[in-house]
A and B are shown apart, each in its own frame.
Chain A
Amino acid sequence: MRRQAVDRYVDRLLGRRRPKSFAATEDELAMVRTAIDLAAAGPDAHGPSPAFVDRLRDQLREHEQTQEATPEPRPAWRTPPRRRFLAAGALTATGALVGAAADQLLQSRDQSPQAQPPDAPGELVPVTGTWQPVAQTSEVPEGAVVAFDLGAVTGFVRRTGGRLRAVSGNCTHQGCRLNLDTTRDKLACPCHGATFSLAGVNLTRPHQSGTPLPALPRVPVREQGGTVQIYAPAGDHSPPAA
């Protein structure tokens, strides 16, 4: 019985245990999301336990010492893409790329054979994801909109004013997958009818009530080697088994 799966998920969440995966329907995902929103105001949300903080600090120190004992090859550096460096306060939803002072903290794990000398200006790139191609450059001419699905990250990329821009493809109402409208000038939610501009701004709300929905999160996008690339978690892109 389907309701039991989401019920068990919530019970484990409330029982301070790790919830177990299940093949959730859209309605069940909405219930999980609501449960998380409520739990976020609960007693466990106020901060980590001192024991966890101490344990993780010890683990990180140990990890750091291990790294120092066995130095890795000098990390590769690469020329940063032609982009303006942004002040930290303006940093942005492109997310993966953090503009930063050239000689501070910036270290890339990019092992590209095109790596630049270590004195080249760097940029800080989270190491938990990779740039993944979603289209050929020729497939995204000026004004075009292309949907992509990398498993963990789905969305739409378009070119406007000569620049690529990408937004998440999940409705900020209840997370349903958005569709490109037949007129190809907006994104429509099949679940409750919300619509968004291609820039991600909420145009219409479910039932035309309440305050506007949050804008669609932006997704890091770049163009390299004739391909349009999205920054997303690395690894298997297929959805997990139910």
Chain B
Amino acid sequence: MIWRADTAAPSPRPSVLPWAVYPDWDAIYADNVGRIYRLMFSKVGNRPDAEDLTSQVFTAALGPLRPGAEIGQVRSYLTTTARTVLAEHWRRTLGHQVTEIDPDILDLAELPPGAGDDGDAGAQAQRILDALPERYRQILTLRFLRGYTVRQAATELGVSVANAKVLQLRALRAAARAETAQGVRDVEANIVGEGEAS
């Protein structure tokens, strides 16, 4: 069923219908700010950078995007804008594309808010942790997934703070190497397409 958001809507969730339209800029923003933030957070891993990059995406989009735009088009536009914003972030900071946004990821265009994002990130983290010895898995779980401070983690594990720091560094190094052996970085492994030009 095709409908437009400025007419009687049969569903309260226009996001599942990418061809519906946004009635105004506030609707564009409200429906996408969480998606873009979560996308950026998954690529930079910290709130300050994720907020900055989210702001950059919407500021860049403010001019080109107009009310009446189709939802799928808006989300695709925001995704591709996010891609270049992220690339520029890594160029400015570590000088290397540490993470990338593949525009073939269509979550933003097709999924309702919140769907897929956390699950994918959780699965990736679990794969990383599963490849580690118990002690390493514990310190990384406490620090990254549960938000423990290093002191809280040290107490939980019954070690000194200094030992917890060393354990964390070794665990992270081991995790990075385990990914090498595992050969898995993210979940969109089924992309077989190619770039194009007319």
Contact = CB atoms under 8 A, between A and B. Distances in A.
Interface of A: 3, 7, 10-14, 16-19, 21-24, 27, 29-49, 52-53, 56-57, 59-60, 63-64, 67, 81-83, 87-89, 91-96, 98, 100-101, 104-109, 124-129, 151-154, 157, 163-168, 170, 172-175, 192, 194, 199-202, 205-207, 209-215, 217-223, 231-233, 235, 237, 239-240, 242
Interface in B145-183: 145-147, 150, 165, 168-169, 172-173, 175-177, 179-183
Nearest to B40: A48
A18 B45 CA distance: 10
A112 B71 CA distance: 29
A94 B103 contact: yes
Interface of B: 18-19, 25-26, 29, 33-34, 37-38, 41-51, 54-56, 58-60, 62-66, 68-77, 79-81, 83-85, 87-88, 90-104, 106, 109-110, 114, 118, 121-122, 124-126, 128-129, 140, 143-147, 150, 165, 168-169, 172-173, 175-177, 179-189, 191-198
Nearest to A157: B195
Nearest to A156: B195
Q: Is the interface of B mostly helix, strand, loop or mixed?
A: helix
Given A34-B172, A92-B193, A207-B183, A42 B145 contact: yes
7 contacts: A13-B45, A32-B98, A37-B185, A40-B124, A98-B77, A127-B63, A218-B193
A221 B196 CA distance: 7
A175 B115 CA distance: 27
A206 B33 CA distance: 37
A40 B125 contact: yes
B147 A63 contact: no
Given A45-B38, A60-B59, A199-B194, 18 more contacts: A31-B172, A31-B176, A32-B94, A43-B147, A49-B47, A52-B51, A60-B25, A88-B72, A92-B103, A94-B197, A95-B79, A107-B63, A108-B64, A128-B81, A210-B183, A215-B188, A217-B104, A221-B196
